[in-house]
Structure 1
Amino acid sequence: MFKQSGYVILLALAAFSCKTSRLASTVDNTPAPVAKDTVVVSAPAPVYVTSKGDTLEKIGEEIALEVFEVVPDTLTVIGVGDIMLGTAYPSEEYLPPANGSMLLSDVADILKNADITFGNYEGVLIDEEGTPKECNNPKLCYLFKTPEHYAVHLKEAGFDVMSLANNHAGDFGPEGRKSSIEVLTKLGIAVAGTQSTPYTIFEAKKTKIGFAAFAPNTGTISIHDYARARKIIQHLDSTCQIVIVSFHAGGEGPEFQHVTRKRESFVGEDRGNVYEFARLVIDAGADIVFGHGPHVTRAIDLYEGKFIAYSMGNFCTYRRFNLKGPNGIAPIVKLWVNGEGDFLQGQIFSTHQLGSGGPLVDENQKVLRKIKELTLQDFPDTALEILDDGLITFKINN
């Protein structure tokens, strides 16, 4: 049995969860209880099950499972990293063809196949001029201004919640922040991470979800203010069944792929201690922590039974982003959690961006191999095991 949940559970990755239940949905796609018995199941893809001795065992397409109890309130959550669908600033030449309608088409079926899908919008959704920010170093100054109607592509691809806690959410001043919030909210996409919207509460699969986002940048909810972060998460934990936290922090680029467990600095800015912060919010009541900001992928870990992804890289960033090497690969991380937010199982889908950008399924699974490598290096004692097909599960007890 899973030590984390006290249940033995069958998770069929290809079909167990489908996005038939969206925000505020009243549709319940929970599987029916299974009698206590041994059953044989045929599946279209490999299935992982628990076996005796508190271990996990891959049996293959034909599986036999002694069912003790099926978790009735399993929730599926997908998280991805940075998204920027093109910018009209400083020139409309940085906008994609067909108004970006094809940018997410290769991965939309994956993104839709969860109860909740999360991303970080790295820029501003605004049609008006706004107030472009001034930069101390013009060579490092990139401003991202996406036309408002592009946001419909996020909705159509399955996104339910978006972080606006990052260093580009304020590229066009308070007008830009206000516009981004209004545009996404009108589409039914929950947002958080700004001073005016520090957190949000929404519903998925008859479950109340709390979401908060943090960053080290002006206008966001500060990742450095531990007291405020703790207070926000404790409030959400007292109100909601599941609490999801995202942070945009850490240094940027290939030299920042490792979780150092120390404060990180980049271009003179304190980018926070992501290891310490992730544990602080979990101690305060968070159930899932999604990190982004370094523009590269980092390790994953489990703390107190709760899942942490330290950085999910550049997911969909059209033009104006460096997509070379590790900057051009990113995961789609799908999680199965129980009603208490405890991790049950996960799956990594590998994507990469070629040319000007836009995620494509990567059959070579470069990011999967990178996450395995980094996790072994940075968290050798983690309770998680990442298998070659992308399944994230508990390590087998020998």
Structure 2
Amino acid sequence: MKALFSTSAWIFVIVIFLSACKVSQKTSTKSNTPEIDSSAIAQIDTILVKPDTVIAEVIQDSVEVQVHRLIKDTVSIVGVGDIMMGTNFPEEWYLPANEGRDLLAEVNPILQNADVTFGNMEGVILNEGGNPKYCKDPKVCYIFRSPEYLAQNLVTAGFDVMSTANNHAGDFGDPGRKNTMRTLDSLGIYNAGQTMRPYTTFMIDGMKYGFAAFAPNTGTMSINDISKAQEIVAHLDSISDIVIVSFHGGAEGSKYQHVPRKNEYFYGENRGNVYLFAHEMINAGADVILGHGPHVTRAVEVYKKRFIIYSMGNFCTYARFNLRGDNGLAPIVKVFTNGEGEFFKAEITPIIQKAPGGPSIDPEGRVIKRIQELTAEDFPESEIKIDDSGIITYIKN
């Protein structure tokens, strides 16, 4: 190591040190306000008064300590499916009472208890106006416009990141898209999936996460452009500790709960080959794949030590949704990985929605049994097992 540093070299190494300092955005209340580690600041103060010959050595040692602190032994990620907490279109009586504050009350403790909590924003967040999709009779059209006040429930529940890539993201045109992103941004909830925002990165408790979302719909990042999706995921993998990928794909309804391992078409639209997509995203560097779109639950899989759930169904969909039978059952999935994204185990909390909607814990655990059946049928080669309590582990530890 050289004995002397120029002034510019001093500045350079101090900047490098600052970039390595621990940043924490998540407290027990899931705050999104960054905080620089006070011990790191103290070390910087010490460095500034040390001779040139010692500066680089102190910085090098500090960087190694800080990087070591960034790697967590276990990371927990909670994922849920479609969220549409009420719509004021075409009528305001499609909105829940009490500003929806009771909608998530029963499951909030579960959602809050994770390093990262994810959901799919089905529809737009917009008080009024926008450019609604053309519909001959709005009363039988399914387009969703949730007032901004409902989004506060996402903060209370502890959501950190959301997908805006789905077939309802463009229900009210660009005004709806932009206001959805603006509202989530203002609440400190990271989001991605629109072509105007393909991906995002964020820091929580010293870990850097990359997130990207895909769908087969106009204005969203395409699930059918696998090569482009791979480029995005590979880039995120190069700059992140954990990469989470969300997709909205596959045909809809209880007739389409199986993963067919081929392109699925619904109402003439190519809804993607979700099996191929999930595997190729993992090949490109993704660590956790969270699927949604069919409005019912699908199977789970572990591929190359990375977790995939192919659909998480309807999680919180108030009014205007079919909640009969399997459409009303869904999991809250909590995935545990190591600091590099390798699957350790997962837990399913079974929920049920009854019309008009809103999740409650299902004491009968019906969705667990359904996921057991679907996984056994669709992935008989699977290396995982699902017990009756919803714990997912490797067959052989």
TM-score range, shorter chain: 0.7 to 0.9
1:330-386 CA-partner distances (Å, limit 9, x unpaired): 000001111110001110000000120000000100001100110000001111110
Structure 1 counterpart SS, 2:319: coil
Please name the residue that 1:89 is paired with.
Answer: 89
How far 1:135 moved relative to its partner?
4.5
| TM-score, normalised relative to structure 2 | 0.82
- Paired positions, count: 339
Which consecutive residues of structure 2, in runs of 5 or more, have no partner in the other structure? 1-26, 38-70
Native 8 Å contact 2:259 2:378 kept in 1? yes
Q: Give aligned-pair identity as a percent.
A: 55
Native 8 Å contact 1:21 1:205 kept in 2? no
Please name the residue that 2:189 is paired with.
Answer: 189
Question: In structure 2, do the counterparts of structure 1 residues 27 and 377 end up closer, same or farther at CA, with 3 Å as the change threshold?
Answer: farther
In the TM superposition, structure 1's runs of 4+ consecutive aligned residues that sit over 4 Å from their partners are 18-28, 135-140
Native 8 Å contact 1:22 1:116 kept in 2? no
Please name the residue that 2:388 is paired with.
Answer: 388
Question: In structure 2, do the counterparts of structure 1 residues 140 and 291 end up closer, same or farther at CA, with 3 Å as the change threshold?
Answer: farther
CA distance in 2, matches of 1:279, 1:328: 28
| TM-score, normalised relative to structure 1 | 0.82
Native 8 Å contact 1:24 1:203 kept in 2? no
How far 1:390 moved relative to its partner?
1.0
How far 1:227 moved relative to its partner?
1.6
Native 8 Å contact 1:23 1:203 kept in 2? no
Native 8 Å contact 1:26 1:205 kept in 2? no
Structure 2 counterpart SS, 1:381: coil
1:71-90 CA-partner distances (Å, limit 9, x unpaired): 95311100000000000000
Please name the residue that 2:169 is paired with.
Answer: 169
Which consecutive residues of structure 1, in runs of 5 or more, have no partner in the other structure? 1-17, 29-70
How far 1:23 moved relative to its partner?
4.4
1:308 equivalenced with 2:300 (yes/no):
no
Please name the residue that 1:143 is paired with.
Answer: 143
Native 8 Å contact 1:82 1:314 kept in 2? yes
How far 1:296 moved relative to its partner?
0.2
Native 8 Å contact 1:81 1:315 kept in 2? yes
Of residues 315-324 and 195-204 in structure 1, the stretch that sits farther from structure 2 once superposed is 195-204
Amino acid in the other structure paired with 1:206 = G
Please name the residue that 1:370 is paired with.
Answer: 370
Please name the residue that 2:130 is paired with.
Answer: 130
Please name the residue that 1:63 is paired with.
Answer: none
1:260-271 alignment to 2 at 5 Å? Answer: 260-271=260-271
Larger Rg: 2
Native 8 Å contact 2:29 2:158 kept in 1? no
1:20-35 alignment to 2 at 5 Å? Answer: 23=32
Comparing both structures, which one devotes a greater share of its residues to strand?
A: 1
Please name the residue that 2:104 is paired with.
Answer: 104
Native 8 Å contact 1:315 1:330 kept in 2? yes
Question: In structure 2, do the counterparts of structure 1 residues 91 and 136 end up closer, same or farther at CA, with 3 Å as the change threshold?
Answer: closer
Please name the residue that 2:233 is paired with.
Answer: 233
Question: In structure 2, do the counterparts of structure 1 residues 25 and 375 end up closer, same or farther at CA, with 3 Å as the change threshold?
Answer: farther
Question: In structure 2, do the counterparts of structure 1 residues 22 and 283 end up closer, same or farther at CA, with 3 Å as the change threshold?
Answer: farther
Please name the residue that 2:62 is paired with.
Answer: none
1:221 equivalenced with 2:204 (yes/no):
no
Native 8 Å contact 1:19 1:114 kept in 2? no
CA distance in 1, matches of 2:214, 2:373: 27
Structure 1 counterpart SS, 2:283: helix
Of residues 140-149 and 157-166 in structure 1, the stretch that sits farther from structure 2 once superposed is 140-149
CA distance in 2, matches of 1:281, 1:136: 39
